[in-house]
Every structure is written in structure tokens, then in C-alpha cells.
Amino acid sequence: MNHSKGNDSSMAQTTEIILSGSGGQGLITAGQILADAVIRDGKNTVQTQSYGPEARGGASRAEVIISNQEIDYPKVTRPDIVLVMSQEALQKYAGWLGPGGMLIVDTTYIQDVPSSSARVFAQPYSRIAREVLGKEMVANIVALGALAALTGVVSKESLQSALTARIPPGTEALNLKALELGWQKARQAAA
């Protein structure tokens, strides 16, 4: 899942991740939670984000780089993992994946998942959030739970801790359920 730099036992293990979709889907927040959780796991991380010109509905992207050593450049250059939650994001970022990368797709709003040399995991995270939890607004957390379960880039405990530290008070139970739901759905799909 990650690429190595160097040639001795102290090699840097680096994982580059893109979380992308439409503005308002909460992917910037998901990127911030992921980066916070990585720090809680004792690893180095940088997190950057970009938005389209629209507040809602335009493209948004969060980038997270995780490493066991110092990170020299704060932008993703060749992602190992790409999570897409809109058709536009799929078209824009799936081609960025490096060899052996992982593409995680929310099929609620993405109809055509192209064949790829990447490992593809496709589940309807937005529909799952809406139908099981009654709130599509936590689809980002369902997808984040799935990403963490599929990749192992962060511990579940650190992710839970970072989540409760970064979400609005009073939404902890719903968000923790969303995280667990995504984790379990991913484990079932990968089994």
C-alpha cells in the first residue's frame, strides 16, 4: 500500500491518500480526522485541501500523507489510496493512482466504475448512511471507516478518538456508529 524510499532498515514508509467528492460531502473534515488519528498513532502526517469555487456541489479534495519519517513535500504526487464520492472525483483522480493502488468508490452517486489496475472496493456509502443511520450527512464517516478497515493506515482506536475530538458536540454517538458501520461493511466486502 505504501512506497518506500531508501534501501536500509530505516526506510521511510509513506502512504499518500486523496479523499475527493463534491463540496458539502464532508471530505475535508474526513481528511482532518484521518490526519489527527495518524498523529495519535505516533506517525507523521500532513493534510492539505482544495475546494472548487462553489461552497456546495463543487469539487473538493483532501490530501493526507502518512509516513514513519519526516515528510519533505506536503502535496500528494502519486496516491496509494483514492476515495471518490462523486462521478467528477472519479474521473479526475482515479487515474492518479500509482501501481498497486487502491480505489475506494461510493457507488451511490457513481454509476460507471471503470476497470482499473488498482484494487477497487465499491460500496454505496451515502445510501448506507441514509438507510441505516437515517442521515446521509455521515456518509463521509462511513467511507472513512471503510478506508481505515481496508488499508490499515490508522488504528480504529485512534480514529474513534480523533473523530470524537473533531465533530460537533452531541453528534458523537451517530458518528461513532457511522465509523463502525463503514468498518464492518469494508471487512465484510474484503472477506
Element (H, E) at 58: none
pLDDT at 9: 42
Average pLDDT over residues 143-166: 97
- Residue 185 domain-assigned? no
Q: Give the residue from 166, 1, 158 showing the smallest Cα distance to 67.
A: 1
Phi, psi of 20 (to 5 degrees): -140, 150
Q: For all residues of the chain together, what is the average pLDDT? A: 90
- Residue 174 domain-assigned? no
Q: Give the residue from 113, 121, 118 showing the smallest Cα distance to 187.
A: 121
Of the two residues 55 and 117, the one the predictor is more confident about is 117
- Residue 134 domain-assigned? no
Its pTM stands at 0.90
* Residue-number span of the structural domain to which 57 is assigned: 3-122+151-167
- Residue 51 domain-assigned? yes
Phi, psi of 17 (to 5 degrees): -130, 140
> How many domains does the chain fold into?
1
CA separation for the pair 21, 138 (Å, rounded): 14
- Residue 143 domain-assigned? no
Average pLDDT over residues 124-128: 97
Which pLDDT band holds residue 113 (cuts at 50, 70, 90)?
confident
Average pLDDT over residues 135-154: 97
Question: What is the CATH number for 50?
Answer: 3.40.920.10
* 3-state SS assignment for residue 1: coil
- Residue 132 domain-assigned? no
pLDDT at 11: 64
